[in-house]
Each structure stands twice: as structure tokens, then as C-alpha cells.
Amino acid sequence: MIKLYNTMSKQKETLKPIKADVVSFYSCGPTVYDYPHIGNWLAFIRWDVLYRTLRTSGFKTRWVMNITDVGHLVSDADDGEDKLEKGAKREGKSAWEIADYYTQDFMEGLDALDIQINRTNLPKATEAINEQIDLIKTLEKKGHTYTIDDGVYFDTATYEDYGKLGNIDIENLQAGARVAYNDQKRNVTDFALWKFSPVDVKRDMEWDSPWGVGFPGWHIECSALAMKHLGETIDVHAGGIDHIPIHHTNEIAQSESATDKQFSQIWLHSNFLTVDGTKLSKSLGNSFTLHDVEKRGFSPFDFRLFALQSHYRTQANFTWEALEAARARRKTLQAMADLRFQPIARYIDSSVLEGISHNVSLRLQDDLNTPEALAELSKLDTVVDDVTETHSSEENAFKAFIEAIDGMLGLGLLRSVDISKAQKERVEQRKQARADKDWAKSDTIRDELVEQGIGLKDTAAGQVWYRV
Ligand code: AMP
Ligand code: ZN
């Protein structure tokens, strides 16, 4: 049983997929006009945890995430520049080149962080222009649209529940909007479905439509792509909390007006990442990317562990010190995972392991409680320290345990390799030296192994090695 906090109902709900055997899950993806920053990656890691939790809990899952390569304006609303055109100007390239380059970078980031979305489930906005036009046509036929100078708009007064997701106080918004940029709009909350290319400007990305040459709005993109790939009603729709008042509110209004069906059963929202307690921004120079993390010598998995330390509904605060702490914690976990190559693994009681992995999955099934799942995992420390040679479990029980844990959390624990044959011999020789009370030899071997990046620890069940 999986419980998730639904922003719409404001309570935790048990997930009951519409199609009993497969969960349909849509998350809002990156706008590919620049390198994703670590705040973006935080959100994507969190959705990957959901995907893994669904699958390890026995649900077949179809996870779709869009790639926004057109139509996302800098304001999130209907004014300002298209982010892709902005990127193109910045780099002296075409919007298409910008989209290609940053999409590729995004794909590499997915690999580096082991985000398991099926790579064929990452549709681009520009590949579904017809679907977006069709959806706008449907809305037009049903009387939800009107056209003004700069585009075709959705009339939010025609959708009764407008603003329900974020409890938006529309009257207040209307009152405060006297200086609204566009006085042709009927309601301050109305939003563009299709924007016309500006007169005398040839955009890199523009298409013909029944209303004129232009490009689709950002909100219609997600509705059209979700419906195209997952159907008219989906089980879970996710995004950052910034999407509650505008983007998701508008997705709901246009989708439900078009289909007369509920658009998504559950709405999940990930809270934001701050850096040193402040908002990420280019001008402050704190808009770090995954490349910055790697340049400072960290593994992307250190960042992933940092991300899992906070619950998705809470704000995460990034500092380089916090990342160092996450790296140390991951090293401890990696040392544990590397026990799978060592004789001690056989003496660890498999029922204890099963207990831990069961608890990890229970924590995740309870609204993706990753900090508590990690806390469960820490219990393994004492288990290992207390192990003696009295208990014997199945040969592969420990390996299966690590596989299960890494399957749920994705910390790259299985990417490590065994030490070499020669190193193993040295480990054995140290064991013998200790048995012979030849402390000098034992110390020499230990120092030699440390030089090679291998530490040794003596436990009740014998020596174990770990990578330092
Ligand atoms: P964008 O590329 O701007 O369309 O954003 C991609 C995703 O990252 C969206 O789901 C945003 O809500 C999310 N996001 C943007 N900034 C942050 C941040 N500082 N912390 C966490 N998530 C963010
Ligand atoms: Zn979206």
C-alpha cells in the first residue's frame, strides 16, 4: 500500500491506480535552455524515488516526463521571452541547437544520477505540436477560448473549479491586477494556449495553426503530452511547488474542460532547494549544476544521498559542507555494500537484513519518507559490528539485500568492484600475522593496503576491508 500526500485534497491518500495493474505517472520536466541546476535535480531525484517505490512495491509503472523545448516564458505566465530563444541569443545559436545541446546534457545527468525513467518516455514539446493544436481546437469548440492580439487564451471563468489546487483567491488577484500587462485579457488568470509570433519577427521555432503562425503555451504542452502518452486521467502528476498556483492550476483547467474528466487523481509537489538559505539565482552565482558538484570532486551519488536526506515536502538547504557530510555517509554505506565481496557477509543474519529492507520499503511507501528510510539503513552498522561466526545465512542473502536497497534508493552501491586477488592475499596474510601476534608484519601490511586505498577493520567475525 502506497500513501501519498495529495495537494488537491490536502491529505495523505492511498494510491489506487485507475488501471489496476499499471500506475500512470507524469512529472514536469526540464526546460532545456541551460544546464539543470541542483534544485531541478533535487526534484527529479525525488520523482525517481517515487518511481522506484512504485515498482519495488509491485506496481507496473509508466513514468513520463516532458522535455520543454519551446513555449516556457521567463515569467512562467504569458509575458517575457521564450526561455529557449533567450538561450539562443545568449550563446549565438539557434533555439533548436540550444534544445539539442541541453537535452543531451540532461540525459547524461539522468545516467549519472541513476534516474531510471525509461529513456523513450521523455517526449519533447516540439514533437507534439499537432496534439497541442488539437487540444486547443477542442477547447475552442467547447467555448473555453478567445483570441486577442498576441494569442489564443483560455477563459478561466469557464472552468468552475479554477484555482482549487492552490486555493487561489481569484477576487483578490483581480483587484490587484489593475496594472496588468495585458488589458485585453478577460480575467487576470486567463492564460495563453497559443501565442502568435511577434509581427516582423521570425522565431526559430514557430508553426502554422488555425489561428496563425506561432507556438504553443507551456501549460498546454503538459496536458497534451500527458494525455498522449498516459490517457485522459492519470494516477499521479508531480512537479515543484512553484507549479501549484499557475502551471498545474492551468493544466487542470484546460484538461478537465476538454475531457470532462478528472485529469490526475493525485497531485504531488516537491518543495524547493535553497543554497546557504537563499534562493538559487544566476546573479548570486549559487545556481550550481551537477557539473559544479563533480568539478569539486564529488560523485553525483553524493548529491543524490544529500537529496534523499530531506523529505520531498520539505525545503532542502544545500551547502558544500552538507554535501561533504553526505559523501561521508555514502562512504559508510558503500563500505557496508562492499561486504558482499567478503566472507563476513555469510554470517550476517538474513532475517535481520530482511527486517531492515522491509522497513526501508515501508518508510518509502509512507509518502516517500526518504530520511527515515536512510535512518533504517544506519541500523546495519551495529548489526555488522556485532556479527560473529556463529550464524550462517545463505551465500547470496547479503548481496540480495544490497541489491534490494540500491533498487529502492539508487545510491550506486552496486557499482563498486571487489579488491584484486593480490590484495586479498595480503588481507589473508595480515590475518595470519595477527594470529601469530606478529604485530610489525600486521602493521606493515595494513599500511601498504591503506596506500592502495583500502582500510581494514577488525570485527568479532574477523577482518573486513573497505575503500577509504
Ligand atoms: P524548469 O527547468 O525551470 O522547468 O524546472 C524543472 C523542475 O525543477 C520543475 O519541476 C521545478 O519545479 C523544479 N525546480 C526549479 N527550481 C527549483 C529549486 N530551486 N528547487 C527544487 N526544484 C526546483
Ligand atoms: Zn508541466
Question: 266-313, pLDDT tens digit by residue?
Answer: 999 999 999 999 999 888 999 999 999 999 999 999 999 999 999 999
Ligand 2 geometric centre to CA of 462 (Å): 54
For range 122-133, the mean pLDDT = 97
Substitution candidate for ligand 1 out of 40, 45, 64 with most atoms within 8 A of CB: 40
Q: What is the pLDDT of residue 177?
A: 61
pLDDT higher than threshold 60 for residue 180: no
d(CA 127, CA 132): 10
Find out whether the beta carbon of 43 lies less than 6 Å from any atom of ligand 1.
yes
Question: Percent of the chain, pLDDT > 90?
Answer: 81
Q: Say if CB 151 and CB 192 are below 8 A apart.
A: yes
**135 — pLDDT class (breaks 50, 70, 90):** very high
Q: Look at the block and give the residue holding cell 569539486.
A: 296
Find out whether the beta carbon of 31 lies less than 6 Å from any atom of ligand 1.
yes
Residue 244 phi/psi, 5-degree rounding, is: -60, -55
Taking the CA of residue 280 as reference, the ligand 1 atom at the shortest distance is 19
Q: What is the pLDDT of residue 380?
A: 86
Q: What is the pLDDT of residue 182?
A: 76
Q: Say if CB 93 and CB 34 are below 8 A apart.
A: no
Per residue in 184-218, pLDDT (tens digit) is 999 999 999 999 998 888 889 999 999 999 999 99
For range 343-368, the mean pLDDT = 94
- How far is CA 112 from each of CA 105, 108, 278, 291, 409, rounded to the nearest angstrom? 10, 6, 26, 11, 14
pLDDT higher than threshold 90 for residue 174: no
pLDDT higher than threshold 70 for residue 175: no
Find out whether the beta carbon of 280 lies less than 6 Å from any atom of ligand 1.
yes
- Closest ligand to 248 CA? 2
Q: What is the pLDDT of residue 51?
A: 98
Name the residue at shortest CA distance from atom 5 of ligand 1: 30
- 90-104, 276-290, 340-354, 385-399: segment of lowest average pLDDT: 385-399
For range 207-233, the mean pLDDT = 97
Beta bridge partners of 124: 67
Distance of CA 65 to the CA centre of its chain: 10
Q: Kindly give the pairing relationship between strand 454-459 and strand 264-270.
A: unpaired
d(CA 463, CA 424): 11
Phi-psi label, residue 61: left if phi above 0, alpha if psi -120 to 50, beta otherwise = beta
Q: What is the pLDDT of residue 172?
A: 74
Predicted model pTM: 0.95
Rg over alpha carbons for the chain, rounded to the nearest Å, is 26
Find out whether the beta carbon of 27 lies less than 6 Å from any atom of ligand 1.
no
- Grid coordinates standing for 155? 477563459
